[in-house]
Amino acid sequence: MNILIVEDEKRLSEALAQIMKEQKYTVDVVDNGDDGYDYAVSGQYDIIILDVMLPGKNGLEISRQLRREGLEAPILMLTARDEISDKVTGLDCGADDYMTKPFDTNELLARVRALTRRRGAVDLEEISYGDLILSLDTYDLRCGTKVIHLSFKEFEIMRILMSNPKVYIAKEDLICKVWGALSDAEDNNVEAYISFLRKKLSFLNSKAVISTQRKVGYRIEENAVA
Ligand code: CA
C-alpha cells in the first residue's frame, strides 16, 4: 500500500514514515503544499495523510482541489488545532477523517487501516445496544437519524461498554484496555472521556446513558423513565 505524507514538521513526518514502513507500507514524504498536491494528484496513493498548515497550498485547499479533480483516495487530515470548526471545514473539503496533534501513533495506524478498509468494503461491521448503533469501521455512533463521529478512545470505551451491557466496567480495566497496561493514564483521563461520551449521547437524544457506580465503575444502560 502506498501512503503519501504531506507534513512540514520534519520530526513528525520522519517518525510517521518510520512507523508506516515498519507496517510494510510504501511511504513518500513531502514537506510543502505545492509538492503535496502534485504528488497526490498523480493518483498513485492509497491514502494521503495531509497536514493543514503547510508552506504553499494549505491542506484544506489541497483536499478541495484533489476532490475537484475527482481523486477518490482517502484523506486523513492532521490539524494542530482542536477546534470543531477546523474539523468540520476539513471534512467539508473532502477529507475522510482528521486527527488533532499531538496524537497517538497506534490511533493513527488504526485510522489508516479503517480508511483503507472502508474503500470497497462490502458490509460494515457494527454493534448495537438499545437505540444505538456503533460502526466498528467508521467509529460513527448512530441513534435514529442522528450520527456523531467518535474519537478513537471514545470509540474504544463505547465499544467496551456496548459489548458488555449492564455490566459495570472498572476504571482500571478501561485504562488497561484503552490506554494500555503500561500507560500512565489516570482516573481523570477516563472521567474526561466518559464526560465527552455523555455529551455525545445527549446530542444523539439516545435513551442510553452511561451510569457510574462509585468505586465500581461504569456501565451503559437504558435511561429509566423519570
Ligand atoms: Ca504544519
Query: 58: CA distance to ligand 1 center in Å?
Result: 9
Query: 10: CA distance to ligand 1 center in Å?
Result: 9
Give the type of residue at 105. T
Location of C-alpha cell 518510520: 18
Query: 15: CA distance to ligand 1 center in Å?
Result: 15
CB 177 within 8 Å of CB 156: yes
- Please, which pLDDT band fits residue 218 given cuts at 50, 70 and 90? very high
Query: 32: CA distance to ligand 1 center in Å?
Result: 9
Angle at CA 92, nearest 5°, toward 91 and 93? 85
Query: 123: CA distance to ligand 1 center in Å?
Result: 36
Query: 78: CA distance to ligand 1 center in Å?
Result: 9
Torsion of CA 118, 113, 138, 125, to 10 degrees: 70
User: Half-sphere exposure (CA, 13 Å, Cβ side) for 100?
Assistant: 12
Query: 9: CA distance to ligand 1 center in Å?
Result: 6
Nearest to 221 by CA among 203, 208, 202, 212: 208
Residue 64 has pLDDT above 50, yes or no: yes
Residues 6+ apart with CB under 8 A from 143: 131, 132, 133, 201, 204, 205, 206
Nearest to 5 by CA among 85, 59, 65, 82: 59
Residue 116 has pLDDT above 70, yes or no: yes
Torsion of CA 195, 198, 202, 206, to 10 degrees: 170
Query: 171: CA distance to ligand 1 center in Å?
Result: 36
Beta bridge partners of 77: 50, 98
What's the grid cell of residue 176?
488497561
Highest mean pLDDT among 38-42, 89-93, 126-130: 38-42
What pLDDT score does 54 carry? Answer: 92
Q: How far apart are CA 24 and CA 22, in angstroms?
A: 5
What pLDDT score does 84 carry? Answer: 55
Residue 138 has pLDDT above 90, yes or no: no
Please give the model's pTM, rounded to 2 decimal places. Answer: 0.54
Location of C-alpha cell 484496555: 177
What pLDDT score does 123 carry? Answer: 45
Which of 38-47, 85-94, 176-185 is the least confident region?
85-94
